[in-house]
Chains A and B, each alone.
Chain A
């Protein structure tokens, strides 16, 4: 059973680093991804939108596998800044899971 984390939703909403609200889950990004990762980025954004933090963290390796090459953005009909959204999730994981926040 998926667990919704409302703090996660709040943090994403407050941030100006993540914005996938325009995404309509058409899947063109996933079809063209050179890494061939079926998760990226459509389902990932669904998890974020639904506040499923566990699911996001479960896919940590996939999130760090993104090339940030923006080939997906070139095709995105809604102009979502997919690479920057993925980078936001890396930063989130680095703070919450890897504890890399303070130096």
Chain B
């Protein structure tokens, strides 16, 4: 039985409207990755995580819940769940995220801060608990009212904080802040660059040459929405990593399946499985640059002898020194 679409959409958009995220999490959990890094609070230029790397480990636990929902009578109760969720945060009753997984995803954000600093980009702050999710999933699912209302909230927050420029860490947040928000929010005028673009433009010099190979999985959004294909390749090449392209790559990259995960987990798994096969034909060491791609491809790769890594990990080995 497929997931009941309408109640699930209602559930996600209610969460966005009332709790400002599709997957409400405490700010303690969303900001602890930054502990000890001494990133200044706020400023005209900020690193904007959009909560994407922090949400993934929580999503893993909710997927377990959802696959129960999908296969059983519990699905019938979800419409009731939506009503309850308006008053009680049902997400907080989901099984807690695995601590090791949370630490691993937090580490990717720490890698990015270190990479920027090593490249001489030091003048940026972080909004800590004020930072908001952009609402990308709710927009993708076509719940435009809830999304537009949320986008205005995000803009208001950025405006109040005096932010002029943002450095993003994932393609979904980059697309929302660079391509989508300007069309919706009057007076929106923010310069948005992903950390991969910032690193490419910087004087980043590798301290170690890695002399290895990696298969690049381009994110659909980076490749086709944001024209970011060359930057990760150049950064890897400079570090002595030979970039291997799979059958579908660059502008013609193949989706990881992630976008349909929330409604059709089985279909998402099928697409991820096909993508892993294509990637494995080009090599066993795969790098991704989007937390959703990373998560989906890792799941599909388990037991296939393919390792999937976030590009920040590889770059830090070379540029971190």
Contacts and interface: CB of A to CB of B under 8 A. Distances in A.
Interface of A: 34-35, 60-61, 64-71, 73-74, 87-94, 97-103
Nearest to A86: B142
A90 to B, nearest CB: 3
B126 to A, nearest CB: 29
A91 B148 CA distance: 12
Given A64-B5, A68-B140, 20 more contacts: A60-B5, A64-B141, A67-B255, A70-B224, A71-B220, A71-B252, A73-B224, A74-B251, A87-B140, A87-B142, A89-B142, A90-B142, A91-B142, A92-B142, A94-B142, A100-B6, A100-B143, A103-B13, A103-B145, A103-B149
Given A87-B142, A94-B142, A98-B9, A65 B267 contact: yes
Interface in B103-147: 139-146
A74 B142 CA distance: 22
B9 A94 contact: yes
In this complex, the interface size class of chain B, counting residues with CB under 8 Å from chain A, is 20 to 34
- Identify the 10 closest CB pairs spanning chains A and B, nearest first: A90-B142, A91-B142, A69-B255, A98-B6, A69-B220, A70-B224, A67-B259, A67-B255, A91-B144, A94-B142
Contacts of B254: 34, 69, 71
Interface string B215-237: 00000100011000000000000
Contacts of B274: 34
Contacts of A69: 220, 224, 254-255, 259
Nearest to B5: A64
A97 B255 CA distance: 28
A98 B14 CA distance: 14
Contacts of A60: 5
Interface of B: 2, 5-6, 9-10, 13-14, 17, 139-146, 149, 220, 224-225, 248, 251-255, 257, 259-260, 263-264, 267, 271, 274
User: Binding site of B, secondary structure by majority: helix, strand, loop or mixed?
Assistant: helix
A46 B39 CA distance: 53
A68 B142 contact: no
B23 to A, nearest CB: 18
A81 to B, nearest CB: 12
A94 B13 CA distance: 11
B257 A67 contact: yes
18 contacts: A34-B254, A34-B274, A64-B263, A64-B264, A65-B260, A65-B264, A69-B254, A71-B224, A71-B248, A71-B252, A71-B254, A74-B252, A87-B140, A91-B142, A99-B6, A100-B6, A103-B14, A103-B145
Contact of A91 (B6, B10, B143, B220): B143
Nearest to B271: A34
A78 B9 CA distance: 32
A99 B141 CA distance: 14
B2 A61 contact: yes
Contact of A35 (B13, B17, B252, B271): B271
A60 B264 CA distance: 13
A101 B10 CA distance: 10
Nearest to A73: B224
A34 B278 CA distance: 13
Contacts of B14: 103
Contacts of A93: 142
Nearest to A90: B142
A68 B5 CA distance: 17
